[in-house]
Structure 1
Amino acid sequence: MAVVKCAIELGIADVLESHQAAMTLDELSSALGCSPYSLFRIMRFLINRRIFKQVGGSDINTIAYAQTPLSRLLTRNGEKSMAALVLLESTPVMLSPWHGLRERVLANGPPAFDTHRGQDIWTYAKNNPAHSKLINDAMACDARFTVSAIMKGCPLVFEGIGTLVDVGGGDGTALRTLIKDCPWIRGINFDLPHVVSVAPHSHGVQHVGGNMFDSVPKADSAFIMKVLHDWGDEECISILKKCREAVPHDTGKVIIVEAVIDGGGHDSKLKDIALKIDMVMMAHTTTGKERTSKEWTFVLNQAGFTRYTVNHIHAAVYSVIEAYP
């Protein structure tokens, strides 16, 4: 992660993308203003990880570098960029809690993030606008990828929905991406006041500040993506109850996008990613976790839903759960 972070901060992918052709080591190091030999070593590592591609000779004097589909994810401003997520997770704020896992596991000790920062991650973000922006930017790039995957894999999920409230929607990226494909939807982006106060204006999206533990704005359907895994069962049930109350009892539904650890269609690589995210939840949240299908059944039943369906998103770690009041 540290080497990928270095590549993002240097702007290697951005320079190659703007050049629109392979670049020699001298050309790339000159454009970046860095040591040719140090850059050569960085690129040798990243090429071995299949992030960038080597073209031309293997000699340091003749070698040239080109983009790959993976390296294009590391551009800072690309539509499919995941750079913000890497930059967030590699900050000292997010890395330090990993050193507290032992204390967390021993006798169900204190949350790792709270131990290192003196407060939970959401309070820390509220009190530190720069870190809050890092979180919002990271969630935005992740939302673009996931919503696009949902539209490809489960396009019928949003048919017939007039108004949709995105619970914990951050800066509104998920709704903006969704409305491009579903222009008939009027979106309500719902998040904490300090989050929506800096969210950009977007046609078809209304920003509403509030607390999902108190109430959720009324809409035809509620959409909640990668929020419930931040919370334990008790909090998860409370949030789901508020979502259920926000939609019509006879025609509404709550659309949940989360990992299902033992979900159908998962190959070993995707399950590995889900289990890694579960470790992230242990390090960064107080009670959060990834859930199995049995655990999802429990929280949905406790929240009062009468039935639900689960659709796995092809080639993605997440599933779409449609829960009906």
Structure 2
Amino acid sequence: MSQQQEEEKEEEEVGKLAIRLANVVILPMVLKSAIELNIIDIICAAGDGKFLSPSEIAASLPTKNPNASVLLDRMLRLLTSHSILKCSVRTGQDGKVERLYGAGALCKFLVKDQYGGVGSVGPLLLLHHDKVFMESWCHFNDAVLEGGIPFNRAYGMTAFEYPETDERFNRVFNQAMSNHTTLILKKIFDVYKGFEGLHVLVDVGGGIGVTLNLITTKYPHIKGINFDLPHVLADAPSYPGVEHVGGDMFVSVPQGDAIFMKWILHDWSDEHCLTLLKNCCKALPSSGKVIIVESILPDIPDSSVTSNIVCEQDLLMLTKIGSKGFIFARRKEPAFTVMASDFAFKVPAELESALRLNTVQYYITKRPWLDLYGINVRPVAPVGSTSRKVHVDPALLHRTLPDELLYEVFARMSPYDLGRAACVCRKWRYTIRNPVFWRIACLKAWQLSGVVENYKILQAKYDTSWRKMWLLRPRIRTDGLYVSRNTYIRTGIAEWKITNPVHLVCYYRYMRFFPSGRFLYKNSSQKLKDVAKFMNFRSAKADSVFSGHYTFSDDKVEAAVLYPGMRPTVLRIRLRLRGTTVGANNRMDLLSLVTSGVNDNEVCGPDEDILGVVEGWQDDETHNPDVPAVSHKRGLTPFVFVPFEEIATSFLNLPVEKMDYFVPG
């Protein structure tokens, strides 16, 4: 073969590689489906050297799809082309050739342990290709150009906060971590004997406790303390010899003979890592040690599988938590030697090649001057001075109520109660700034927009601050009634004894909105405190409370309500939301009020979404000649919001003798 032919062949191979990269997403997505459908488990359960046809595999699936075997054959053919499965053919009695599939060498890493696996990476694949993680990749370009963390840009919270809001994803995450831990520890046990001689081992960031369960099973004399965030431990099962302890590792770490951390430090900045290692040092005796399992990024990447894996994991960490990634071993010299002595354990080559990570053991040496780091020394006050006395919180409530319980109390408050609580004292003012409180309130207030759309708006307009979004984004309030008080003068009559030349007439329009997109409407001369009790969906017909639907966009409200009867009439309302102060949203201006007729065949009942029926109608449009369209010009006083707790005392209850005209402001 000539040199030109060799170059052409090499260029052809490069072109094929480019096409393969363009199609790279197909393999993991097909493999994800194969794992979720238990196809790999079904093939492996048949036994070594056994082959199954697509129709036999389909028979084991909960499906009635007649084309399932055809779809499975196409999936399995792709997996075979990547050496995940093996394939053979057989010829039937009708002469038709059928493909058969068996387990390849990779399958033992993709199945559950009951089939003889050595620890599964299947759940890890499901996690990396879960819709929650995939969404963050869509924000990667924006993060490069504008800064920020892709996951935070997608969801408005960190990857550590999100599992607390999504139980399904929390289970996916915990399952992936526990299975991956099983795979890693089985290799570590073969070459590392540093757990021998320990009595108490603390696993910092231990998830649901799988790591310590494996360690204490192999070394029954060890008492394990599994330390993680409380919401992570909520799903943790009980294990013999393992105690689950909730807390924050940046505040303190439980005491033990040794501290174990697997894939923890790569999640955090150098400053966070130093804080964590200092806490570990305080929790250990003089003979204690810290055992750290981390991956290592190569200085110069190559095309080996090991280099591929750690570089891919580095980008995974970048998109999810924005950390510096798997660079622990490259930064130990300048930074972490402050915390530990020289490395006492050399990593065997077979362990590094098998796990694509390095294990480092620190032997902690007590250095008294470390206790002085980060401490600001104050001048000693004179004896008897008030500044020399120990500070005690003067509030009895703060001294007796733990911060955790105070948090639980605030979590059950409405946003407006939180605002009132912020006026009590400085401690409460700063406590209620916790974004968790405001995230719950925002997602409930704008539930019609959907969770994903709310997170996008949060990122684009409100700098990922839920509290800022609550204050600045227009919001229809649902914790009370909007009231429009209207008055007009009517000519009186002369009687024998009394002559009233005019009467001052007062009537009200009431609207109560619900987050679901429905609202209640009532037109009455009754005072606010008398009407409020009827403004619900259980009210009787005699109360003349009508239900309708509304839409809300920016600060505009479109609403419609149907008056049933012999001649059905629809009331169309257009309003503009505003507030007298930032975040109040306590005024609605009536832009238009139109009544029109509708045909009987256009509506099925009072609960139908009449707003969808009249969408696109003109102001002068009616669908019933007996009920002309009327655009009302009177009774358009702006609505004023009255919270439920202020209904009985509101000044809108005053009679016309005491308040003849009300200025909404």
Residues 269-289 of structure 1, C-alpha deviation per residue, up to 9 Å, x if partnerless? 212211111000101113241
Distance in 2 (alpha carbons) for counterparts of 1:238 and 1:223 = 16
- Residues 8 and 76 of structure 1 are in contact (CA less than 8 Å); yes or no, is this contact kept in structure 2? no
- Residues 30 and 75 of structure 2 are in contact (CA less than 8 Å); yes or no, is this contact kept in structure 1? yes
1:38-49 matched pairs, under 5 angstroms: 38-49=71-82
Name the counterpart of 2:30: 3
Name the counterpart of 2:233: 196
Query: What letter matches 2:341 in structure 1?
Result: T
Name the counterpart of 2:313: 277
Name the counterpart of 2:360: 321
Which of 266, 272, 287 in structure 2 is aligned with 1:229? 266
Distance in 2 (alpha carbons) for counterparts of 1:252 and 1:262 = 30
Distance in 1 (alpha carbons) for counterparts of 2:105 and 2:201 = 33
Secondary structure of residue in 2 paired with 1:106: helix
Query: What letter matches 1:82 in structure 2?
Result: V
Distance in 2 (alpha carbons) for counterparts of 1:277 and 1:183 = 33
Which of 181, 185, 199 in structure 1 is aligned with 2:222? 185
Which of 84, 90, 102 in structure 2 is aligned with 1:66? 102
Distance 1:165 1:267, change over 3 A: farther
**Does structure 1 residue 208 correspond to structure 2 residue 237?**
no
**Does structure 1 residue 301 correspond to structure 2 residue 337?**
yes
Secondary structure of residue in 1 paired with 2:198: coil
Distance in 1 (alpha carbons) for counterparts of 2:333 and 2:175 = 32
**Does structure 1 residue 261 correspond to structure 2 residue 297?**
yes
Distance in 1 (alpha carbons) for counterparts of 2:329 and 2:113 = 36
Secondary structure of residue in 1 paired with 2:33: helix
Residues 223-273 of structure 1, C-alpha deviation per residue, up to 9 Å, x if partnerless? 000111111211111111111221112x1100000012249xx99321221
Name the counterpart of 1:18: 45
1:101-250 matched pairs, under 5 angstroms: 101-106=140-145, 109-154=147-192, 156-249=193-286
Secondary structure of residue in 1 paired with 2:139: helix
Distance in 2 (alpha carbons) for counterparts of 1:183 and 1:69 = 33
Secondary structure of residue in 2 paired with 1:229: helix
The alpha carbon displacement at 1:77 in A equals 6.0
Secondary structure of residue in 2 paired with 1:321: strand
Distance in 2 (alpha carbons) for counterparts of 1:210 and 1:123 = 14
Distance 1:81 1:294, change over 3 A: closer
Distance in 2 (alpha carbons) for counterparts of 1:10 and 1:224 = 33
Name the counterpart of 1:92: 131
Distance in 2 (alpha carbons) for counterparts of 1:161 and 1:172 = 18
Q: Which runs of 5+ in 1 are unaligned?
A: none
Name the counterpart of 1:55: 88
Percent identity for Structure 1 against Structure 2:
31
Name the counterpart of 2:599: none
The alpha carbon displacement at 1:8 in A equals 0.9
Distance in 2 (alpha carbons) for counterparts of 1:58 and 1:275 = 45
Secondary structure of residue in 2 paired with 1:290: coil
Which structure is richer in relative contact order (CA contacts within 8 A, separation 6 or more)?
1
Query: What letter matches 1:22 in structure 2?
Result: F
Structure 1 window deviating more from structure 2 (96-105 vs 58-67): it is 58-67
- Residues 17 and 67 of structure 1 are in contact (CA less than 8 Å); yes or no, is this contact kept in structure 2? yes
Distance 1:206 1:267, change over 3 A: farther
- Residues 201 and 224 of structure 2 are in contact (CA less than 8 Å); yes or no, is this contact kept in structure 1? yes
The alpha carbon displacement at 1:76 in A equals 4.9
Which of 21, 27, 31 in structure 1 is aligned with 2:56? 27
Name the counterpart of 1:36: 69
Number of matched pairs:
319
The alpha carbon displacement at 1:57 in A equals 4.2
Name the counterpart of 2:559: none
Q: Which runs of 5+ in 2 are unaligned?
A: 1-27, 365-665
Query: What letter matches 2:213 in structure 1?
Result: R
Structure 1 window deviating more from structure 2 (9-18 vs 229-238): it is 9-18
Distance 1:106 1:151, change over 3 A: same
Q: How high is the TM-score relative to the length of structure 1? A: 0.91
Name the counterpart of 2:122: 83
Residues 34-70 of structure 1, C-alpha deviation per residue, up to 9 Å, x if partnerless? 5222111111100111111113449974321111232
Query: What letter matches 1:294 in structure 2?
Result: R
Secondary structure of residue in 2 paired with 1:178: helix
- Residues 167 and 222 of structure 1 are in contact (CA less than 8 Å); yes or no, is this contact kept in structure 2? yes
After superposition, the CA RMSD in angstroms is: 2.2
- Residues 207 and 232 of structure 2 are in contact (CA less than 8 Å); yes or no, is this contact kept in structure 1? yes
Distance in 1 (alpha carbons) for counterparts of 2:319 and 2:218 = 36
Distance in 1 (alpha carbons) for counterparts of 2:161 and 2:324 = 15
Structure 1 window deviating more from structure 2 (159-168 vs 280-289): it is 280-289
Secondary structure of residue in 1 paired with 2:126: helix
Residues 191-234 of structure 1, C-alpha deviation per residue, up to 9 Å, x if partnerless? 11111122111111111111101111000000000111111211
Distance in 1 (alpha carbons) for counterparts of 2:88 and 2:347 = 41
Q: How high is the TM-score relative to the length of structure 2? A: 0.46
Structure 1 window deviating more from structure 2 (10-19 vs 115-124): it is 10-19
The alpha carbon displacement at 1:292 in A equals 5.6
Secondary structure of residue in 2 paired with 1:234: helix
Residues 147-198 of structure 1, C-alpha deviation per residue, up to 9 Å, x if partnerless? 11111122x2212111100000001101111222222211111111111122
Residues 90-113 of structure 1, C-alpha deviation per residue, up to 9 Å, x if partnerless? 111101111222222236x01110
Name the counterpart of 2:534: none
- Residues 236 and 299 of structure 1 are in contact (CA less than 8 Å); yes or no, is this contact kept in structure 2? no
Distance in 2 (alpha carbons) for counterparts of 1:110 and 1:176 = 37
